[in-house]
Amino acid sequence: MHASLGNAVGIRSQNDPANLELLAAATHFYGSAKFIAGLQFALTVPVAVVSYTILFSFPGLKPWTTFVALTVALTDILVLERLQSRLRLFGALAQEAFDCAIFRLPWNQFLCSRRLEAAEIAEAAASHRRRNPDVRSLSDWYPAVVAELAPDFATLICQRSAVRWDSAQRRRYSAWLTGVGVAVLATLLAFALYRNYAVSDLILALYAPLTPAILWTAREILRHRDAADKLDALRSRIDGVWSVVTAPTKETSIPSREIQDALFEARSRNALVFDWLYRLQRPKNEAAMKINAEDMVKTLKALPQSK
């Protein structure tokens, strides 16, 4: 017998002003981190292509374009990447505060270190509202249908929804980057060969200027693929828990806090997905989230319930 139905009060509170404030703060921090990521992109890919183009008209500038390429690569690694990581961590902390509030989970001080101060959250949320006055995009962050379940079961479905969404958008992004990167590199290489570049000229005129762009693209592809693999592994573990807790003759505890720890680790460390791609994929991912959640709720309702 199961006690999977109930009233997940916490999930029902996800649209309360205090919780929407946390989501707004998280969105602001992540948005700032994505701005840095966009700056990293601008300093690598477009600058590399421009340098490559300049060399056709001014071959004597090869040493300078090489210097610029190396400087950009060092700035990216030593300055921009560190700043992006800090903002990403703040976003993960705000998201964790939101999840802990609606899932009714204790704060893991050892993993998450400190909580964000109320002033930090208020300032970040206000910055988000100045650019996005309409908060409806933050409403019903998790599928509302799970609110009729017992808290642990509702939390498990929400956690699985978050993991699946994140993995799906990362796989599409890495596939898109791979296709575009290969096409651009092949085009530039074919053009260089058409111009009968010697090997030394090919290195200085093509490889050196494009090194930051190649490194950025390869790094992003590998990061998102690795992140998707880890998220898929986490979803498999969640599915394993689901199989156990929905067994007709067995009732067991759900390791909600342990799953949440893995979610926080992913959010605080994984590479970011640009907002334009998130918005492009949101309708599809949101529809899949609702369908899967409704199916899982239907499965639980079909189980014999304890009284």
Tell me the CB-side half-sphere exposure of residue 30, using CA atoms within 13 A. 22
Range of the domain at 49: 9-301
Match 């067995």 to its residue by tokens. 250
Residue 1 has what pLDDT?
Answer: 42
Q: Compute the distance between CA of residue 199 and CA of residue 190 in angstroms, rounded to an integer.
A: 14
Residue 127 has what pLDDT?
Answer: 96
Q: Compute the distance between CA of residue 292 and CA of residue 303 in angstroms, rounded to an integer.
A: 17
- Collapsing DSSP to helix, strand or coil, 131 comes out as helix
β-bridge mates for residue 149, sequence order: 5
**Could you tell me which of 23, 32, 30, 17 has the C-alpha nearest to residue 95?**
23
Between 256-269 and 208-245, two packed helices, what is the crossing angle to 10 degrees? 170
Residue 249 has what pLDDT?
Answer: 64
**Hey, what are 206's tokens?**
């093509």
Q: How many domains does the chain have?
A: 1
Q: pLDDT tens digit string along 83-111?
A: 999 999 999 999 999 999 999 999 999 99
- Assigned domain for 3 exists: no
- Assigned domain for 279 exists: yes
- Assigned domain for 164 exists: yes
**Could you tell me which of 170, 271, 275 has the C-alpha nearest to residue 229?**
170
Residue 135 has what pLDDT?
Answer: 76
Q: Compute the distance between CA of residue 119 and CA of residue 125 in angstroms, rounded to an integer.
A: 10
Q: Compute the distance between CA of residue 143 and CA of residue 147 in angstroms, rounded to an integer.
A: 8
β-bridge mates for residue 305, sequence order: 2
- Assigned domain for 2 exists: no
Q: Compute the distance between CA of residue 211 and CA of residue 153 in angstroms, rounded to an integer.
A: 49
Q: Residue-wise pLDDT tens for the chain (307 aa)?
A: 455 565 656 788 999 999 999 999 999 999 999 999 888 888 777 776 676 667 666 766 766 666 776 777 777 777 888 999 999 999 999 999 999 999 999 999 999 988 999 999 999 999 999 998 887 789 999 999 998 888 899 999 999 999 999 999 999 999 999 998 888 778 777 777 777 766 666 666 666 666 767 777 888 999 999 999 999 999 999 999 999 888 866 667 889 999 999 999 999 999 999 998 899 999 999 999 999 999 999 998 887 766 5
- Collapsing DSSP to helix, strand or coil, 121 comes out as helix
Amino acid identity at 137: S
- Assigned domain for 200 exists: yes
For the chain, how big is the Rg over CA atoms in Å? Answer: 23
- Assigned domain for 4 exists: no
Return all residues near 71 (Cβ < 8 A) that are at least 6 apart: none
Contact of 188 with 52, CB cutoff 8 Å = yes
Residue 251 has what pLDDT?
Answer: 62
